[in-house]
C-alpha cells in the first residue's frame, strides 16, 4: 500500500479540510505531517461548521484513526481546546487520535518570540499568525526543542526551565516589547498535564506497520506550496516543508511509498499575511471575490487578499509536488462575474515567461491575462457534473490542458455534499 498526499497548491486556505473530510471514508488513517495551529481547516456538514487547527480532518469519522505526525508542532493550550470541542461532538479522542512522540511543542515563550520578532520587523513583517510556529521550528533545527515524548520524561521540568530561560534572555534584546508570561505559562503547564493522558505513539513505526497490513493512509498537508520554507515566496513563508516531500520527513514515510498526490487549488487565488502576490486585485473585483468567497482567515479572522488564478504559480507547485490529480475549489464564487480572468504568463525582464522566477515581487513580474466567459449561474445546488454550465466546463478544460493534470473534483460550496466528482479527459 501507498500513502496518498493531499496538499494546497497556492498560499493556503484552499479548502483542504473539506476535501480530507469528504475522502476520509476511502482511508483507514489520516495523518497531518507539518505545520501547527497556524492552520485552520474548516469542515461543514449537517448544518454545522467546525474549524480544526492541529488535529487531522478525518476526526469526525468513527472508523478512521488520526495521527499527528512528527513534523507537526503542537501548542498544548490550543490542542486541549480543540480536543474539548471535539468531545462536545462525541468524538472519542482517546480512541481516534494518536500523537507522535517526536512532534515538537510550542512553548508560551515561542509565541512571545514570534510576536517580538514581528514587532521588530515593522512594515517588513511576515504577517505571521503569531502562533509561535517559526521560533518552534528554529528550536527544532537548532536542537533545543522539547518534544511530546519529553512530557512523560523525568527531566521535563528542568528542560522546560532551561529553554524558557534561554527565550527570556532573547526576549530581553527586543526593545519595547512587553509581555506577561505568568498567565500564559500557567495555562500551558495545565495543558501539558492534560496531554499526559492522550495516546502517544512512535508514528513512523505505526504508519509503516499500517501500510504493511494493507491499510490506506492519507497525509494531510497544511498551509500551501507557495508558503513552503524552501520553494515558497521566501521570506514570506511558513517555517515547514508544506510540499509532498514534507510528508516523507513529517511522517517517516519513504519516498517510494508515496502514491497519489492530490493538489487543491481555488478557482481564483488568495493570500493572507504579507508577501508578493502577482495577480492580487486592489479594486472592486478583489473586494467582490472577498465578499462572495467569505475570504477571512479561519485562524486569525484577517481579511484575505484576493486575485485571479495564477497558472505559472500553479504549474510550479504541480512540478514541485508531483501532483497526479487536481481538485478545484470554490467554483461557485466565480458565478458573480461576467468574465473570468486567468494569468497565463508573467512579463519579466521584457520577456513573457510561464514559469516562476526567483522573485515574484510586483516590481519584477507583471501578470498577463486571458479572459474567459463567466457562467453567472448559482452552482451551489448542483450535485452532478452534467448540471454544470458550459462556460464552467470550458474553464475547467482550459485549466486542465494548461496544467496537464486531470481535475477530478469540483467543489461548489463549503458543505460535504457540495462536491462533484468528475472524469477528466486527461485521466
Ligand atoms: P506563520 O506560519 O504563522 O509564521 O505565518 C507565516 C505566513 O504564512 C503568514 O503569511 C501567514 O499568514 C501564512 N500562513 C500560515 N499558516 C497559514 C494557513 O494555514 N493558511 C494561510 N496562510 C497561512
CA 398 to ligand 1 centroid distance, Å: 30
CA 125 to ligand 1 centroid distance, Å: 12
Give backbone dihedrals phi and psi of 375, rounded to 5 degrees, phi first. -115, -20
Whether 110 is catalytic is no
Helix axes 156-171, 181-195, angle to 10 degrees: 150
User: Ligand 1 pocket test: which of 272, 296, 306, 329 has the largest number of ligand atoms within 8 Å of its C-beta?
Assistant: 272
Q: Do 114 and 238 form a contact (C-beta atoms < 8 A)?
A: no
| Closest alpha carbon to 328 in 221, 403, 257, 237 | 403
Ligand 1 pocket (Cβ < 6 Å) reads 11-13, 38-40, 126-129, 131, 133-134, 222-223, 227, 236, 238, 272-273
Q: Give the Cα separation of 280 and 272 in Å (integer).
A: 11
Q: Give the Cα separation of 93 and 87 in Å (integer).
A: 7
In the chain, % of residues over pLDDT 90 = 94
Catalogue the long-range contacts made by 117-122 (C-beta closer than 8 Å, 24 or more residues apart): 117/174, 119/174, 119/176, 119/177, 120/174, 120/175, 120/177
Tell the burial category of 166 from Cβ atoms under 10 Å away from its Cβ (0-12, 13-18, 19+): middle
- Could you read off the pLDDT tens digit of each residue along the chain, which spans 427 residues? 899 999 999 999 999 999 999 999 999 999 999 999 999 999 989 888 999 999 999 999 999 999 999 999 999 999 999 999 999 988 999 889 999 999 999 999 999 999 999 999 999 999 999 999 999 999 999 999 999 999 999 999 999 999 999 999 999 999 999 999 999 999 999 999 999 999 999 999 999 999 999 999 999 999 999 999 999 999 999 999 999 999 999 999 999 999 999 999 999 999 999 999 999 999 999 999 999 999 998 888 899 999 999 999 999 999 999 999 999 999 999 999 999 999 999 999 999 999 999 999 999 999 999 999 999 999 999 999 999 999 999 999 999 999 999 999 999 999 999 999 998 766 5
- Give the per-residue pLDDT at 94: 87
99 strand-pairing partners: 68, 200
> Grid coordinates in use for 419?
462536491
Active-site residue, from 13, 21, 310, 332: 13
Active-site residue, from 41, 50, 53, 345: 41
Reduced to 3 states (helix: H, G, I; strand: E, B; else coil), residue 103 is coil
Whether 75 is catalytic is no
> Grid coordinates in use for 339?
468574465
> Grid coordinates in use for 168?
527570556
- Give the per-residue pLDDT at 426: 67
CA neighbours closer than 13 Å in the CB half-sphere of residue 1: 17
Nearest CA to ligand 1 atom 5: 128
Q: Do 64 and 27 form a contact (C-beta atoms < 8 A)?
A: yes
Amino acid at each position: 500500500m501507498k500513502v496518498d498526499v493531499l496538499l494546497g497548491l497556492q498560499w493556503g486556505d484552499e479548502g483542504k479540510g473539506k476535501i480530507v473530510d469528504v475522502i476520509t471514508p476511502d482511508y483507514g488513517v489520516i495523518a497531518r505531517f507539518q505545520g501547527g495551529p497556524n492552520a485552520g481547516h474548516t469542515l461543514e456538514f449537517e448544518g454545522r461548521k467546525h474549524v480544526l487547527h492541529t488535529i487531522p480532518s478525518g476526526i469526525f469519522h468513527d472508523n478512521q484513526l488520526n495521527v499527528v505526525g512528527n513534523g507537526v508542532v503542537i501548542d498544548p493550550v490550543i490542542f486541549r481546546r480543540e480536543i474539548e470541542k471535539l468531545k462536545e461532538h462525541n468524538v472519542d479522542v482517546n480512541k481516534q487520535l494518536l500523537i507522535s512522540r517526536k512532534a515538537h511543542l510550542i512553548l508560551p515563550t515561542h509565541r512571545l518570540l514570534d510576536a517580538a520578532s514581528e514587532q521588530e520587523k515593522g512594515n517588513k513583517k511576515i504577517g505571521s499568525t503569531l502562533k509561535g510556529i517559526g521560533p518552534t521550528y528554529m528550536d527544532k533545527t537548532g536542537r533545543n526543542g522539547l518534544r511530546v515524548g519529553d512530557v512523560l520524561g523525568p527531566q521535563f521540568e528542568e528542560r522546560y526551565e532551561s529553554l524558557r530561560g534561554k527565550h527570556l534572555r532573547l526576549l530581553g534584546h527586543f526593545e519595547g516589547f512587553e509581555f506577561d508570561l505568568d498567565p500564559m505559562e500557567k495555562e500551558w503547564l495545565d495543558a501539558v498535564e492534560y496531554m499526559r493522558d492522550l495516546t502517544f505513539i512512535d508514528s513512523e513505526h505505526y504508519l509503516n506497520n499500517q501500510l504493511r497490513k494493507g491499510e490506506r493512509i492519507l497525509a494531510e498537508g497544511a498551509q500551501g506550496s507557495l508558503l513552503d520554507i524552501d520553494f515558497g515566496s521566501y521570506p514570506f513563508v511558513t517555517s515547514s516543508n508544506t510540499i509532498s516531500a514534507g510528508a516523507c520527513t513529517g511522517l517517516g514515510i519513504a519516498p517510494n511509498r508515496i502514491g497519489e498526490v492530490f493538489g487543491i487549488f481555488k478557482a481564483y487565488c488568495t493570500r493572507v499575511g504579507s508577501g508578493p502576490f502577482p495577480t492580487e486585485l486592489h479594486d472592486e473585483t478583489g473586494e467582490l471575490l472577498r465578499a462572495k468567497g467569505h475570504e477571512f482567515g479561519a485562524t486569525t479572522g484577517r481579511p484575505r487578499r484576493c486575485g485571479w488564478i495564477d497558472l505559472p504559480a500553479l504549474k510550479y507547485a504541480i512540478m514541485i509536488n508531483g501532483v497526479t490529480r487536481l481538485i478545484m475549489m470554490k467554483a461557485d464564487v466565480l458565478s458573480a462575474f461576467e468574465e473570468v480572468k486567468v494569468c497565463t504568463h508573467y512579463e519579466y525582464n521584457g520577456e513573457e515567461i510561464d514559469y516562476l522566477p526567483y522573485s515574484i515581487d510586483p516590481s519584477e513580474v507583471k501578470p498577463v491575462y486571458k479572459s474567459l466567459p463567466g457562467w453567472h449561474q448559482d452552482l451551489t445546488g448542483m450535485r452532478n457534473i452534467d448540471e454544470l454550465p458550459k462556460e464552467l466546463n470550458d474553464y475547467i478544460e482550459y485549466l486542465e490542458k494548461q496544467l496537464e493534470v486531470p481535475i477530478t473534483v469540483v467543489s461548489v460550496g463549503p458543505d460535504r455534499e457540495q462536491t462533484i466528482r468528475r472524469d477528466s479527459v486527461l485521466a
